[in-house]
A and B are shown apart, each in its own frame.
Chain A
């Protein structure tokens, strides 16, 4: 089945450690996005990529890094510089143009212990 796969679903990290969240899509979508959602809050954009080998910072990029070496993959690294990383992370993709449906992965829960 086509869709977006995020892994791991639950992740615990010690303070000071980097962690990478995986996002893979087989929808042949051009654009991919990473969002962060805190309890009771809306989605905030971390990074987005419109095409391979290109990405832009979103509203809260500090402490995060991404890569887009392949069209189907857009991994997010949460670095030790991110002060409050505990959150629900959502990856999404679209064909990139207006009016196209946005698809989300099931999300990854990151907890810093």
Chain B
């Protein structure tokens, strides 16, 4: 089983739609979780961290379910500018004290259509 798996894309949605992405992780010792956005031929940029209590930033809502080992990202009222690839990032506990390793999902491509 892959360490971090994301919904297969691409997701093609009309403007104004609500879209949700899921990401599952296999290591229950995972410490922290993030959603990153990556535009074509650019570096990933932090969209939001994901907390156990869930968190919201404008049209974006992220949630973490430790029992089922998945995180989700919900985008409401999609805009054309939301078109990008969304990466799930999990910080795993590596070998040795204080050693952490980041693991990325392959990303889900979102295209918002006029």
- A residues near B (Cβ < 8 Å) are 31, 33, 35, 41-43, 45, 48, 50, 88, 90, 92, 94, 96-107
Contacts and interface: CB of A to CB of B under 8 A. Distances in A.
A16 B103 CA distance: 31
A107 B44 CA distance: 10
Given A31-B100, A97-B98, A102 B42 contact: no
Given A42-B87, A43-B104, A102 B46 contact: yes
Contact of A50 (B46, B49, B98, B106): B98
Nearest to A106: B43
Given A48-B101, A104-B43, A104-B44, A98 B31 contact: yes
Contacts, number: 56
Q: Interface on chain B toward A: helix, strand, loop, or mixed SS?
A: strand
Contacts of B89: 102
B102 to A, nearest CB: 6
A99 B43 contact: no
Nearest to B95: A56
B32 interface: yes
B100 to A, nearest CB: 6
Interface string B62-91: 000000000000000000000000010101
A31 B87 CA distance: 20
B47 to A, nearest CB: 11
Nearest to A92: B102
